[in-house]
Amino acid sequence: MRAGFDFRVSARDGHARVAELETPSAVIETPTFMPVGTVGSVKGMSMEEVAQTGAGIVLANTYHLWLRPTPEVVRSLGGLHTFTRWPKAMLTDSGGFQVFSLASLRTIDDDGVTFRSHLDGTMLRLTPEESMRIQTLLGADIMMAFDECPPGDADRATVERAMARTTAWAKRCLDSPRGEKQALFGIIQGGVHTDLRRQHIKELCALPFDGFALGGLSVGEPWQEMHKVLDDVAHEMPEDRPRYLMGVGTPRDLIAGSLAGIDMFDCVLPTRNARNGQALTWNGRVNIKQLRNREERGPVDPECDGPCCTTGYSRGYLRHLFQAQEILCGRVLTLHNLYFFGRLMKRLRQAIREGNARSWADSVLDRMRENDEVGPADDA
C-alpha cells in the first residue's frame, strides 16, 4: 500500500474479518460504515455531531464538488479536511456513480463522459485524468478510480463493455499524478454475473491499487441477487487490502456484506430515511409519523445509548416536529440513525472477534424483520 497507509487483519470468522485501516488522518476499525457528505457536509449535521456517532471516515462526492465550489476553491481553503472541519479520514468517489445516476444528462465514449450540468446546463468533460486531478486537489485520504457503472437491469453485453472501459480507465488513473498521502482504490464491475465479476477481479487486482471496491450493485437489481454476488466473490478480492462495497447501506446489507468479507460501506440511507421520518433501531424501522406516537413519551429506541435517545427527545415530540415540518426532526433522527449504524458495526466487529457472527446476525435480523413498522419484511 501507499506510504502512510496500512491494513492489518486482527480477527476472522468465516469470510468476515476485523481489521484496522491506517490512513494519514485516522486509524479506522473495519467493518465500518462511512457517512456520506456529498457536498462536503453530512446533511443537517455538524462534523462534531458526525464524530459523536463513532464514524472514522466520511465520503465526499467528486462530481458535486467539481461543479461547486470547484476543487480549486477547496484547495485554496486548505483541502477537504480543513474546508469541512473533519479531522479524521476522508474518501472521495470518482464521479463514476453519476455516469449511472445522471444518465439522461451525459454521453459516454471510450475516452470519458460529457455531462450537462444539472445546475445550469454547462457542458463538462470528465475523464479518468480529470477525475484524478479533481480528487488530488480535494485532498482526500482515499481516491477512487473513475469507472462506468451500468444499471442493475443492463444486459450482459452492456456490462462487458462497462468492464472493459473501467479496466482501461483504471490504468489511466494509475498513470495520473496524485498526492503523496493519497491512496487509490480500483472498482470492480460485472453486474450480477458471477463469472464476469471473477473475470474483472482478476483483471483489476493485477493492478497496483491500494484497495478494491465492488461497484455497480444496489443499482436496481433485487437484493437477493446482490447478496449472492457478495457471497460468491467478495472474499476473492485480495486478502491484504481493504474491500469496499459502494453505495450499499441497509442494516441487512451491511451485515450480509460483512459476513461475505467486505470491510467498508457507504450509503445515503440513514440520512435520507431520517428526513422522511424513519428511525433505524434494533427493533427495525420506526415510522415517527404514525399516530401511535402522538402522545408517546418514550425514546425512538429504548436500547439506544446515543444522544437522541438519552437526552429526552420523545417520539411524541419528534412526531410533532415532523408534522410541523421543523428541520430539527430530521437533524435529531439523522444523528440517531448514524449513531445506530456506528453501534451496529461495533457489535458486528465484536461478534466476529467472538466467532459467532453468523448466529448474531441471524438473531439481529430476525428481530428487525419481526418488529419493522415501515414496510414488508423482505424490504427491511
Residue 143 three-state SS: strand
- Residue matched to cell numbers 415530540: 317
**Catalytic residue list contains 266:** yes
Q: Enumerate residues 6+ apart whose C-beta is below 8 A from 156.
A: 191, 193, 196
CA distance readout (Å), 3 to 7, 119, 175, 181, 185: 12, 38, 17, 7, 14
141, 147, 210, 266: the catalytic one is 266
Alpha helices (H) in 104-247, listed in sequence order: 128-138, 156-175, 194-204, 223-233
93, 253, 263, 301: the catalytic one is 93
Q: Closest Cα to residue 288, out of 28, 268, 379, 280? A: 280
Counted residue by residue, the chain has a size of 380
Cα separation of 5 and 292, whole Å? 50
Report domain extents, the chain: 6-267, 273-379
| pLDDT of amino acid 3 | 86
Buried b (16+ CB within 10 A) or exposed e, 338-358: bbbbbbbbeebbebbeeeebe
DSSP state of 90: E
Q: Which residues pair with 114 in a beta bridge?
A: 107, 125
- Burial group, residue 142, by CB count within 10 angstroms (0-12, 13-18, 19+): buried
- Residue matched to cell numbers 499524478: 177
pLDDT at 377 over 60: no
Strand pairing category for 16-22 and 6-13: antiparallel
- In this structure, the number of other CB atoms found within 10 A of the CB of residue 20 comes to 13
Cα separation of 37 and 47, whole Å? 10
- pLDDT per position as a tens digit, 330-359: 999 999 999 999 999 999 999 999 999 999
Cα separation of 92 and 94, whole Å? 6
With left for phi above 0 and alpha for psi between -120 and 50, is residue 220 left, alpha or beta? left
**Catalytic residue list contains 263:** no
Which amino acid makes up residue 260?
A
Q: Measured at the alpha carbon of residue 215, what is the angle toward residues 70 and 7, in degrees to the nearest 5?
A: 85
Residue 186 three-state SS: strand
pLDDT, average across residues 283-292? 96
pLDDT, average across residues 120-125? 93
- pLDDT per position as a tens digit, 57-85: 999 999 999 999 999 999 999 999 999 99
Cα separation of 351 and 57, whole Å? 22
Which amino acid makes up residue 273?
N
pLDDT, average across residues 51-58? 96
Domain topology for 6-267: TIM Barrel (3.20.20)
- Residue matched to cell numbers 441477487: 225
Residue 115 three-state SS: strand
- pLDDT per position as a tens digit, 296-308: 999 999 999 999 9
What global pTM score does this model have?
0.96
Residue 150 three-state SS: coil
Greater confidence (97 vs 42) lies with: 42
pLDDT category at 380 given cuts 50, 70, 90 is: very low
| pLDDT of amino acid 375 | 67
